[in-house]
Structure 1
Amino acid sequence: MEMDLGQPAGSNWNSNIGGGGNEGPDRDGDITDPPCNTNDRIEPHVDGTQSNVRDTVFGDEGNVDRLKSVELHDGMDFESKEEAFSFYKDYAKSVGFNPIIKASRRSRISGKFIDAKFVCTRYGNKPESAEEPASTSENLTFPVKKKRGRINRSWEKTDCKASMHVKRRPDGRWIICSFIKEHNHELLPDQASYPTGHGDPDIRENDRDALQAGQAKQMYMMAKQFSGSKKPHNQVGHLTNQHECEVHLRLDEGDAQALLDHFLRMQEENPNFFYSLDLNQQHRLRNVFWVDAKSRLDYRHFGDVVFFDIVYIKNEYKLPLVSFIGVNHHFQSLLLGCALVADETKLTYTWLMKVWLKAMGGRSPQVMLTDQDIALKEAIAEVMPDSRHCFCLWHILNKVPEKVNYVIMQDENFRKKLDKCIFRSSTNEQFERRWKKIVDRFGLGANMWLLSLYEDREQWAPTYMRGIFLAGMSKAQRSDGVSSFFDKFMQRRTTLKEFLEQYGDILLEKYEDEAKSDFESWRKQPALKSPSPFGKQMAAVYTHEVFRKFQAEILGAVACHPRKESKDGRVTSFRVQDFQENRDHIVVRNEATADLSCSCHCFEFNGFLCRHVLIVLQVCGAYRIPSQYILKRWTKIAKSRYSMIQEQSVVTSRVQRYNDICWQALKLGDEGSLSKQSYDTALSALEEAIKKCSSLNDSIKYVPILQPSHESHDLAKVDHDIGSTEKEKKHSIPEEGKIQKGAEVISFGRIT
């Protein structure tokens, strides 16, 4: 029998017994100076599910001979928390006692596990007696639940201090920072570690029944909710080991139904709304992804650079909300998809990336921006090998005070040296040389975070990022475009239900901001602050916000002084002294091809020319921006005149025809909503088209040929388009890589 204990209450504490696979190094709670203080605050687990069990006993029937020659000690490290506990269990069996996970702690910011404490089952004092069980109408027995209740155990508490305390290092490995070997009771090697579910003497029969009933009830409710099926057959009887229980979303009561209601409501409003559910083997919701129709269309225009953001919804636990964020032609953030995930592991991220790409037509972004995270790094490399994975520079810089605060406090020059290394290195070699000098000078050779940064330098250091367009989303300071899409609307205590209730209003406000910016860019000319010919040219091309940023470069050119360095044929090099930045930049101009480059890489990062190039063009007598340096994604026509490449093959599937018409209708809605006149024109055209199609269909006696259905209705095999009619489901299969209309994907296991 397997005991599904769920997750404990609180935002930072979690037993996660059985584990969820390897996790990358914690972004916000890394341990850099082991061993730790044994007096660190490690709180007990308090379970908030039906089972309501405080401690969980584990045994292991495996070979423990390796423990007889190995002595645990401070400083030993392991691949994961699960490996550390497994090792401690083997050690416990060889010595003669039963171990439990007493407590574990998550980072308050990232939500990942950062330490855990394993103890002898006789740790602590005798617990309070349990309440009498209560019966239900389904002849199942449940313990009466207090606010922080516990089920009694039959083992005797002797206040034994034997324990092992482990913490996670920045490189992801777990290290023993405190090991207490001595017990204050008799040790019985022959009787230790009875396997859970095989006559464990430390779990009373009533407790076992209560746990089994709680598991059955949870599985029944989840299966009923997502499949409409009846009570699952013999599910609990097949559960054999706690380690095999998969993770699931830790939702508050009513959250799952609120999610499903939200999805159905959104798809009723627009059939191109897409969502996907990922259920574990026990039919419990593990991960969920959704994206609205407009976001799917926006991705076609602005899917070149995507930022992967994670915030946490406040509930009894700490629920990770993932957002895929892009930037439109007004430098406004775009929501390109949302997800709620059970954990932050490679397996989860791999599933999420694959489902997101499926919703977006299978086209990967050119650049994916994320925080530095091993699990994300591995998942993106596997799912999107053609995308350039970069780390947000402002994420990294914000961690500097936390990771090396003791160095900053001792020497104020550290930050200046680090900034010089990052921002003023003109070559890769210069960056590496300066970095090593910093590490040696300040004695940081053992700092795991800095070591990991140097190893990943090609994914964040500006000198390694030449030629990579980032749409202004990776800077020293957090830009408006890269900020969390929900920052304005999410408070510390916002619940999932409250978030879902606000979701439509959030999107509406963002869409109205975009529509307002579209209108102003088309109907109003931006104010010119200089007589520069470059300003006059681009004022008619760029949107207002992009022109505002470009005009700052025009005005900044007056603080630059160019000097010709060398000339080779029609290629000329200039050294531009920037008095505002107090540094020099090298600009190279090819007169024959009109190619330009600057060592500041402004065009590569932001997509418009810098002041250094503008002053060089001016002294060379060029008064127009070359066309290759005007990116369409920053112009007024970035999306309104977007021409979608249609497949040349004959469209025979009704679902495919429906999809194509929906996409064209979305484009019509985008254009038709800009003004009252265009709105009236669009409605008139639609009404006329509907009349013609209706008349045409009435004149054709069309009888669809239906193929016999071999589709299974078993929940484990559901993968269909819920926006289609029942007849469509029987004979139409969307082509792979084609954006599908509102596809609901309920998957068991991981998408591979």
Structure 2
Amino acid sequence: MSSREIDAESGRLLNDQDGAFEWRWEPQSSDEEDGLNQDGGDGFKTPSKKLVLTAYGEEAEVPEVKEGMVFPDWEAIDVQLKGYGRQKGFCFVRRCGSSKKCTLSQEEGSGTGVVVKQRRNFMWTCECYGVPERKRKVSGDVGTSDNQVHVGSGVRKSKKCECPVHVFASVNEIGQWVIRRSLKGNANHYPTPSKSRTIASFRKKFIEDNPHVGREFEVCKKSGLRTNQVYNLMSTRRNGKAHMPFSEKDIHDYLAKRKKEKKKGGDARAMFTYFEKMKEDNPDFFHVFRQADDGRLQDVLWVDARSRAAYEEFGDVVCFDTTYLTN
């Protein structure tokens, strides 16, 4: 049997006159065999998006926004810019924009003569864009400013370091958003993917996208743990505070927000909600209230079924004076 030489690049025989030999990949295991295409092609698959390692794990790489790119609306640009900045370690913010008044036609569903404002352009900048405020404290707690940097404990800290990164987009004639100007290259600060953990908007976004983290905050808080204890407990699961995607302040802000939501409408609204629930459970439950001329709540009377039965026997009434803390 004659020896044959195979070209490493093409996979064909160098001395094959017929050219019938074709280099093919053969699966070495059952898992690789499942990766073969149904039409008999190779099992090699080219990923549609490149994966990059970020501070939050492995993610699909967000492409860079360049001049001339077209987007359906400004929200799409905002999402892509923030995703790109998050992977690089800095944050894009909407700096300024303009709008113009236009009249909606009847075909657009709002009838003729309706004047609305439509966005015409936006500029996104790095959060470190611009000049920091030069302010310091003086006697009498009066703030002054000038064009010189003050050195000392009274200097107000700022993350602005005149970074030139910005993106400008506007609407074309057919209503699409086009990138008109894009300047990349951070200056005066050095973002890295791991630094995205320290940016407030990304920390809050992480908690919003992972509701189980917020529920864990509430469970730990109900069990009697302090905020710093909750943070220390959760940091042990991530091999230290350096790997935490949120800070201790974020836990405090989340719990304060949840507490405010539960008391939305005030304690009076919460009380009447409870009365309505009691009325559904027991039809003999009775409540009534009075309001002043300016709408303020004056007094409330409520009687449950057991109290109504006891009143017929004893005739006693219990009153609560809620003004003892005010006068």
After TM superposition, the score normalised by the length of structure 2 is: 0.35
The structure with more strand, counted as a fraction of residues: 2
Larger relative contact order (C-alpha < 8 A, sep ≥ 6)?
Answer: 1
Which has the larger Rg?
2
